[in-house]
Amino acid sequence: MKNILVTGGAGFIGSHTVIELAQAGYNPVILDNFSNSDPRILLGIEKILGRKPLFYKGDCLDDIFLSKIFSLYHFSGIIHFAAFKSVSESIKNPLLYWKNNIDSLLHILEIALKKNVSAFVFSSSATIYGEPNEVPISEVSPRKLATCAYGATKQAGEDILQNICTTPANKKILKGISLRYFNPVGAHPSGLIGELPLGIPQNLIPFVTQTAAKIRKELIIFGNDYPTPDGTCLRDYIHVVDLAKAHISALTFLLKDNAPQYDVFNIGNGKASSVLEVIHTFQKITNVSLPYRIGPRREGDVVSCYAEVSKAEKILNWKAEYTLENALRDAWNWQKNIPF
């Protein structure tokens, strides 16, 4: 059974990926410092898997801590989620994002090379495309100037990983893939794990579910004067379980002898949904009324962003299976059953 290190494995996407790794026959080992996650998510993972997950609390910037973990296991692969991820926060404090997101990646890559790790899957983002010239966005679409520090750190992270993996000295050691996520939403169908933002949510769906649960007074739509059919931004919403499965497909692909040194893949549904469409769909499937109002545009938001996903379907043999309705149903089920 191959050991896989999952940095940020107690987070939203990380926890779901841990489940899928275990169910695919891998042995996931979680590293997390809970800076943007909750330790009680580990209880949900345990209930789903029927056993306690392997977990170590610590920071990717702590070389002594990393050395300890790598002395206990030989890792065939690493899936690197650990990073700060708020667009709005990164606009307010860009230096924090550059220091944390890039330094943590460098520390993990350094020990990966030292310990002969074969495969590295990097958590990237569609924000690397900036404001796209056209949609849908394919992997050959130009990477434009990022609209926030978060997106800029993902661009830099991709460049670092590509350089490390394709440098001749490292070609026999490490291969890498960057997965460019669009908008992860939903929760595990069991209702035992899901998105658990600390403080005020920065993403649409948890704000929707918290408003429906009366935790929030109302939902604010940031602008309704965009050049879209209903005036609100268009996004590609991908169910978190589909996204988690994409990581297993990427990892399995990298561990093959004929895998390239480095590649990038869009991970999305390939469909555009507006903010208002999400709200109306949620109200329809849950029969819960959502109070909302229109606010000013939010800095850093692009008009339209959705994926061309045929490359992942062809090369990784991966395809999204869940619909927006499925994702909203699961997110609401999680919100109603959050055990704390």
Q: Given a cut of 90, is residue 87 above it in pLDDT?
A: no
* pLDDT at residue number 131: 86
Query: Which tens digit of pLDDT belongs to each residue from 193-202?
Result: 999 887 888 8
Q: Given a cut of 80, is residue 256 above it in pLDDT?
A: yes
> What average pLDDT does this structure show over 304-332?
97
* pLDDT at residue number 340: 65
Q: Given a cut of 70, is residue 260 above it in pLDDT?
A: yes
Question: Position of tokens 């895998």?
Answer: 259
E strand or H helix that includes residue 157: helix 149-166
Q: Given a cut of 80, is residue 8 above it in pLDDT?
A: yes
Which residues does 34 contact at the CB level (< 8 Å), separation at least 6? Answer: 10, 57
DSSP class of residue 244 equals H
How far is 13 from 261, CA to CA, in rounded Å? 25
Lowest-pLDDT range, 46-60, 98-112, 162-176?
A: 162-176
How far is 190 from 243, CA to CA, in rounded Å? 16
Q: Given a cut of 90, is residue 207 above it in pLDDT?
A: yes
* pLDDT at residue number 169: 87
> What average pLDDT does this structure show over 267-276?
97
Q: Are strands 119-125 and 175-181 parallel, antiparallel or unpaired?
A: parallel
Q: Give one DSSP letter per residue of 200-219, joined into a string.
A: S--SHHHHHHHHHTTSSS-E
* pLDDT at residue number 183: 95
Q: Given a cut of 70, is residue 210 above it in pLDDT?
A: yes
How far is 272 from 235, CA to CA, in rounded Å? 5
* pLDDT at residue number 339: 66
- So which residues are the catalytic ones? 150
Higher per-residue confidence, 93 vs 299: 93
Q: Please tell me the number of Cα atoms within 13 Å of 231 on its side-chain side.
A: 9
To the nearest whole percent, how much of the chain has pLDDT over 90?
89
> What average pLDDT does this structure show over 106-114?
97
Query: Which tens digit of pLDDT belongs to each residue from 171-187?
Result: 888 999 999 999 999 99
Q: Given a cut of 90, is residue 140 above it in pLDDT?
A: yes
CB distance 176 to 259 below 8 Å: no
